[in-house]
Structure 1
Amino acid sequence: MEFIVDYLDFWKERYISILEYTYQHLVMSVISLLLGILITIPLAILLTRLKSNFLKSLVFNIANVFQTIPTIAMLALMIPILGIGMKPAVTAMFLYSLLPLLRNTYTGIKSIDPGVVDSAKGMGYSAFQSLVKIELPLAMPYIMSGIRVTSVYIISWVTMAAVIGAGGLGGLIISGIGFNNKYLIFTGTILAIILAVGTDLIFGRIEKSRNKNRRKTI
């Protein structure tokens, strides 16, 4: 009971700074995810049109290299290039988002029955119309799954961005460790978990809703 009372007092004193750290965390996560989506979906579409297996392998291998670099090492590598703060943190998270988004979008489009695409061409659809009206809607479950997984990963990884001065909920955790403040550590950890789980649930509902509408349409 004493812990709860003290913790409520802690929130009353620190709620403005806690909300600021949470806002920073969300901004970095959202920007990283949006950049990843804007880059990988067109790139994945382009890869499905390429006949060169070498180029496909090259792109996926490069994305895979970024994925294998430990988070703390990736952030450290950003410092000589972009300095410290939010910019290198967002860049690092963006690089981490490439592989899962690229792989899921590519797999989703390639999994479509070629007969469906040929039928669309037979109906007079242009390549662009076929892509927008047939291929992307059919590949959407894969794409949404990639976005869902990546968003959770990014929210978790962004907690490490505090080590290069980018803020976010990791800032609360690091401050808590430095000052031996259990309330700071607990708050930063719990809020990061809530953001990750909440994001997963939201994208899960969107994914289920789209799949339900897709089945009705079929």
Structure 2
Amino acid sequence: MNVFFDAFAWIFSPDRLTGSLPLPEAIWQHLAFTFGSVAIAALIAIPLGWLIGHTGRGREIAVALSGAARALPSLGLVLLLVLVIGVVHKTEAAVFAFVLLAIPSILAGAYTGVQAIDRTVIEAGRAVGMTPWQVLWKIEVPLGLPLLIGGIRAATLQVVATVTIAAYVGLGGLGFFIIQGIQLRQFDVILGASLVVVVLALALDGLFALLEGVVVPRGVSGRAARPTGNTARVTAVDRADAT
């Protein structure tokens, strides 16, 4: 138990506010990498996911690419991209790797959110004269938001845990303390920095859990907005990968 007390003492020590990399600055760098990567991934994956869900085309290709992206080793990918792109652009290389990591969960959340909608609802919209564009924006997107937020939630958890490897190529973040602690055999530092990462992950998970409930459209019960069948299994797999 002493190592836990030492870890908490390290976290709350006044020394963490000074030095070459203060703890608040490391947390900010960690969150910047996380939100930046997830935002870029969302810009790519959400429109593509909505297109797949709306048209029903390309789902098999999306699933295959998502599975292949999940199989990529994050650390090896970062190091490979740094070598290929160049040390001068190591920030871009790391962000690119994190974006690839985030895309599968967001893509799955986007298209399963649309596909999970009861077809009778969509047919009703068409029956009253809605155009395909109106069906997408007034029916499919609002009703699919809970699952989309779930996909973004899973992607964020995956990225916030993986951003620690950015320090391996000298990009800072909370991984800086973990790598430094390993080199110096300072177990309180390793555990302290790891606990901060865990707290960040739990805080972000809680925020997205609340957001999932907020985005459920009025008149739609929570039960109806929850995934069922294959959709539930896809979402469960994404969240299990994040863990």
TM-score with structure 1 length normalisation? 0.87
* Equivalent residue for 2:66, pick from 63, 67, 90: 63
- How is 1:15-164 mapped onto 2 (pairs within 5 angstroms)? 17-50=22-55, 52=57, 55-84=58-87, 85-164=90-169
The alignment partner of 2:130 has SS state of coil
Between stretches 55-64 and 87-96, larger displacement belongs to: 55-64
Misfit runs of 4+, over 6 Å: none
The Cα of 1:83 is off from its aligned counterpart by 2.8
Any unmatched runs of 5+ in structure 1? none
The Cα of 1:214 is off from its aligned counterpart by 5.2
Q: Which residue does 2:16 correspond to in 1?
A: 11
Any unmatched runs of 5+ in structure 2? 225-243
The Cα of 1:115 is off from its aligned counterpart by 1.7
Contact 1:64/1:99, CA 8 A, preserved across alignment: yes
Cα distance in 1 between the residues matched to 2:219 and 2:146: 10
Task: Specify the code of the residue in structure 1 equivalent to 2:79.
Answer: A
Between stretches 154-163 and 118-127, larger displacement belongs to: 118-127
* Equivalent residue for 2:194, pick from 189, 197, 202: 189
Give the 3 Å change call, closer, same or farther, for CA 111–188 of structure 1 in structure 2: same
The Cα of 1:152 is off from its aligned counterpart by 0.8
The Cα of 1:50 is off from its aligned counterpart by 4.2
* Equivalent residue for 2:205, pick from 171, 176, 200: 200
Flag the structure with higher helix content: 1
Deviation readout 1:52-79 (Å, 9 max, x if unpaired): 5xx4323331222111012222212212
Task: Specify the code of the residue in structure 1 equivalent to 2:167.
Answer: A
Give the 3 Å change call, closer, same or farther, for CA 191–51 of structure 1 in structure 2: closer
Between stretches 190-199 and 174-183, larger displacement belongs to: 174-183
Contact 2:82/2:94, CA 8 A, preserved across alignment: no
Deviation readout 1:159-183 (Å, 9 max, x if unpaired): 1121122221111110122223344
TM-score with structure 2 length normalisation? 0.79
The alignment partner of 2:125 has SS state of helix
Give the 3 Å change call, closer, same or farther, for CA 175–50 of structure 1 in structure 2: same
Q: Which residue does 1:169 correspond to in 2?
A: 174
Give the 3 Å change call, closer, same or farther, for CA 156–144 of structure 1 in structure 2: same
Deviation readout 1:80-139 (Å, 9 max, x if unpaired): 332343211111110011111111211110111222112112222222221111111111
Give the 3 Å change call, closer, same or farther, for CA 181–14 of structure 1 in structure 2: farther
Give the 3 Å change call, closer, same or farther, for CA 82–36 of structure 1 in structure 2: same
Between stretches 201-210 and 3-12, larger displacement belongs to: 3-12
Aligned CA RMSD, in angstroms, stands at 2.6
